[in-house]
Amino acid sequence: MTQSVTSIPEDTPVQPASDDSLFARLGGIYGISAAVDNLVDRLYVNGAANANPKVDEFHQQQGHAGFKFLVTAWSIEETGGPKIYPGRDMRESHAHLSVTEREFDIVATEIKTSLYQLNVPEREFDEFMELIESYRSMVVAPEHRHAAE
Annotated binding site for heme: 94
For residue 30, give Cα distances in angstroms to 21, 51, 135, 149: 15, 31, 24, 36
**Which positions make up the binding site?**
94
Task: Report the C-alpha gap between 15 and 29 in whole angstroms.
Answer: 9
Task: Report the C-alpha gap between 6 and 114 in whole angstroms.
Answer: 9
Residues 6+ apart with CB under 8 A from 20: none
Task: Report the C-alpha gap between 145 and 133 in whole angstroms.
Answer: 13
Question: What residue type is 133 in one-letter code?
Answer: E
Contact 120, 26 (CB under 8 A): yes
Q: How many CA atoms lie within 13 A of 86 on its CB side?
A: 5
